[in-house]
Chains A and B, each alone.
Chain A
Amino acid sequence: MKKTGILKAIGLVFLVSMFLTCFSLNSYAAEKVVKLGMVEDVTGMAALLGVAGVEGAKIAVDEINTKGGLLGRKIQLLVRDAGLKPDVGAREARELIVREKVAALLGPVSSAVLLAVSEVAKEHGVVLIAHTSNTERAFWEKGHDYIFSVVPNTYIEGSAVGEYMSKFPYKRYMILGPDYEFGHIQAAAFEKRIKQLRPDVEIIGKLWPKLGEKDFSAYITAILNAKPDAVYSNLWGGDLVAFTKQAKPYGLFEKVKFIALYDVDVLQALGKDAVEGVIGYERGPFFAIRKLAPSKRFEAFFNRYRNDTGKFPSCWAIMAYDAVWAWAQAVSKAKSFDSEKVMKALKGMKFDSLRGPVYIHPYHNQANVGSYIGEVAWDPNFPYFAIWKDFTYVPGDRVWRSEEEIKELRQKATK
């Protein structure tokens, strides 16, 4: 009995102290702060992307705050975890809007969570900027005035790779992608574009391993058996690392041209197991940005990120950073935190992203950010992991859907 009494007392003290810290934080917050909400997926298998996004956003917020803040107010970044679950994402977004009164939201990692959060943003009329999740459905048929994107969406990404690959002589393609929204919808964009430009191209098979598959031997055997000229894949992250390592001893990469999301994270994880000659695409590899759109600002960001985290910035960090700055610039332009005014300011706005100057389309709110594509190769400057050579950039506005097409899609969706 006595023991539980002591435990209870300790518990009470703990609770009270927690309340007190909350109150003190709140009273500080009430002064001159504007809150920016971030619904991220920082646990589960996409945690690496979410954590990098939070780091990138933090750097942007800190830069703005050291320069004196926005309209005289400091930005406070509130991060909530959605854990890849759409219902959790929607709930956290609602709470950030209703209870924390955030001025705007930054988007999640998962496309499924994005669709859910987007509904909440639309309902409350709060600006939401997506920087990692990129299903085109969120911006085309399910798009609305309040959702913005600084990440190339699946349509841009799939079409850009389709356009790039159309220059090669390959005719028989296979598709290998993760079995969920992102995998299917991006592969469809690739298929549409490459067939448009090259009517002789044939898709001879599609394979959809589940997200998080560990053993790809059955898929590798199926590809070798079908003998395609090339494989378009949108496997990403750990799945792509696993596939690459397992396919290598089968000699798959000598027999088949392989195209996949070989981004900075994957190449670092692969280390010396990387395969030269495969084609990679992604949304912001630092080595390509430094060559194609060099800027002092990018170098400053790069060094700061290396300093703060000890890591190379991935595109996830770069795009989250861009999202914060896009919002901040719109606030300065609107001279207000009011969501309606900021939304109007964002539409058609030009801004300097870390990837170079871009603009946001006034109708569908997608920034004309594009896809980086190149060939995986070793570089003497990076002894520990492979990077790319011969890279190109396909800007978003060259391959995205026209305004008429999107209007049609939206009309169909409302019917």
Chain B
Amino acid sequence: MTSITWGVDTIILLILSGLTKASLLFIVAAGLSLVFGVLRIINLAHGSFYMIGAFIAASIVTRNPEGPSFWFAIAIAPFIVAIFGWIIELAVLRRIYRSEHIVQLLATYALILILGDVVRMIWGAEYISISFPQPLTKPVSIMDSYFPSYNLFVIAWAPLIALFLWWFVYKTGIGCLVRAAVSDAEMLDALGINIQRIFSIVFTIGAFLAALGGIIVSPMGSIGLGMDLEILIEAFVVAVIGGLGSFAGALLGSVIIGLMHSFGITIAPRMAMAFIFLAMVTVLIIRPWGIFGEKER
């Protein structure tokens, strides 16, 4: 319907906007995937940590909007949410590892509702908005067009986090145990390793990543109720396409979705969303465990 002019700058802009979305999705989906890989629980409340992270960042920034408070928020808010996630793991998740899937889904779904109401009680229902932080307020020019410098900052996060996760899982002692827990948690338990502690650590990292995603997105959009469910669905699609439990899969899945989204909207706006779910269905038919996922034993 729309006539498209395929200049080089258009293509660069489309790729960059696709990668912006991909990066945000990866940060959240990586945590979701990690938690599932180790704990074998689909944590529906993952989006709630994302929302809480954004609200905490907003509280910090709106207190002093002029100074460098956003950088302060990004440095401490994920840790606050991580501690909160750790408490949730102790109080709720720990009790349902051995339960059936339906119990786990119900319990984490209950957390969505409870945390949603808690957020509303603390912060109210207003849309909160924080400005782009200094020095990322100005756009950069790409040939004849502009691109927000903040988006470039967002894009930079995905490789950083991918690198960190790779280092954590493959180069640290705890990472070694995490990998062992993924392949056979019971055996690890029998060897006398405190598996509960590993579960706690992994869940806390998951909450940390979700909150980080929420804080990074907060200057771009508005912070409000409902952002928990909105991100959960997309992150879930990414994790399923890539394979639940796989970082490489989450990375590839988010890039696929991000680029399909940006090119899809320019080429065939009515079909863009359908393409994304079509991609998920195709992957599920051909490889039900996702591109990089492993078959359940």
Contact = CB atoms under 8 A, between A and B. Distances in A.
A205 B221 CA distance: 24
A222 B266 contact: yes
Interface in A202-226: 204-208, 210, 212-215, 217-222, 224-226
A48 interface: yes
Contacts of B137: 249
B116 to A, nearest CB: 7
A269 interface: yes
Interface string A250-278: 11000000000000011011111100000
B68 interface: no
Interface stretch (A1-9, A236-244, A338-346): A236-244
Interface residue tally on B, bucketed by range:
35 or more
A48 B220 CA distance: 20
B21 A217 contact: yes
A207 B265 contact: yes
Nearest to B54: A214
Interface residue tally on A, bucketed by range:
35 or more
Contacts, number: 153
A140 to B, nearest CB: 25
B17 interface: yes
A272 B265 contact: no
A207 B219 CA distance: 23
A245 interface: yes
Interface in B187-233: 217, 219-227, 229-231
Interface of A: 42-45, 47-48, 50-51, 179, 204-208, 210, 212-215, 217-222, 224-226, 237-239, 241-242, 245-246, 249-251, 265-266, 268-273
B220 A215 contact: yes
Interface of B: 1-5, 10, 13-14, 16-18, 20-21, 24, 116-117, 120, 124-129, 131-132, 137-139, 145-151, 217, 219-227, 229-231, 261-262, 264-266, 269-270, 272-273
Contacts of B230: 45, 212-214
B266 A47 contact: no
A109 to B, nearest CB: 11
B128 A205 contact: no
Given A212-B227, A241-B129, A218 B266 contact: yes
B265 A222 contact: yes
A218 B120 contact: no
B221 A47 contact: no
Nearest to A271: B129
Contact of A43 (B117, B150, B151): B117
